[in-house]
A and B are shown apart, each in its own frame.
Chain A
Amino acid sequence: MKINYDAATDSLYIHLSDRASVDSDEIANGVVLDYDAAGALVGIDIQHASHQADLAKLSVNCLPLTQLDAA
């Protein structure tokens, strides 16, 4: 999973997997879900992210991580 934040446009993309999307659905203003060919959710596109999420804190609990990269 990869979380990308673009401060210039206050946009957040959460890549749930590396699989590409083949379809999308805006479920709320500025929030678009991306689905792969099997209909599985593969990403979440959030606009004006700082108004929709607390970007200052990230808590990770009990994930079976083997790699953690921060930039």
Chain B
Amino acid sequence: MLELPITDYFRDNVLVKRPYIQREWCEAAVRDPIRREVQADDGRIRHWIWIDALDRYLRVVTLADGQTIHNAFPDRRFRP
């Protein structure tokens, strides 16, 4: 399966600063999220997935195309 595209910001900042975040987690979140929400202000899309290794939900934000990964971080406040 082809890797999803990523933004320069995700490559140069998010993955650099949060090296524990695995690209495959982000891909799984986008492809099979437990919830998906469109951000009202910009059309970017939030996807959540449970990550056992983090013992947390991971939020992955794509651009409005729903494919290009732009941000990802453990979401302490997410409740499914």
Given contacts A26-B75, A26-B77, A45-B73, contact A4 B20 (CB under 8 A): no
CB within 8 Å of A: which of B27-80?
Answer: 41-42, 59, 63, 70-71, 73-77
Given contacts A47-B71, A48-B41, contact A4 B17 (CB under 8 A): no
Q: Nearest Cβ distance between residue B5 and chain A, in whole angstroms?
A: 13
B73 touches A24 (CB 8 A): yes
| Chain B interfacial residues counted at CB < 8 A | 21
The residues of A that contact B73 with a CB separation of less than 8 Å are 24, 26, 32, 34, 45
A9 touches B63 (CB 8 A): yes
The yes or no answer to A69 lying at the interface (CB within 8 A) is: no
Q: Nearest Cβ distance between residue B9 and chain A, in whole angstroms?
A: 4
Q: Nearest Cβ distance between residue A32 and chain B, in whole angstroms?
A: 5
B17 touches A43 (CB 8 A): yes
Having A8-B9, A45-B73, A48-B42, one finds 10 other A-B pairs with CB under 8 Å, namely A4-B12, A6-B8, A6-B13, A8-B8, A9-B7, A11-B9, A13-B13, A23-B74, A24-B73, A34-B17
A/B interface sample: 28 pairs, CB < 8 A: A4-B9, A4-B12, A4-B13, A6-B12, A6-B13, A8-B7, A8-B8, A9-B63, A11-B9, A11-B71, A13-B13, A13-B17, A20-B17, A20-B19, A20-B20, A21-B18, A21-B20, A23-B74, A24-B18, A25-B76, A26-B59, A34-B17, A34-B73, A42-B17, A45-B17, A45-B71, A45-B73, A47-B71
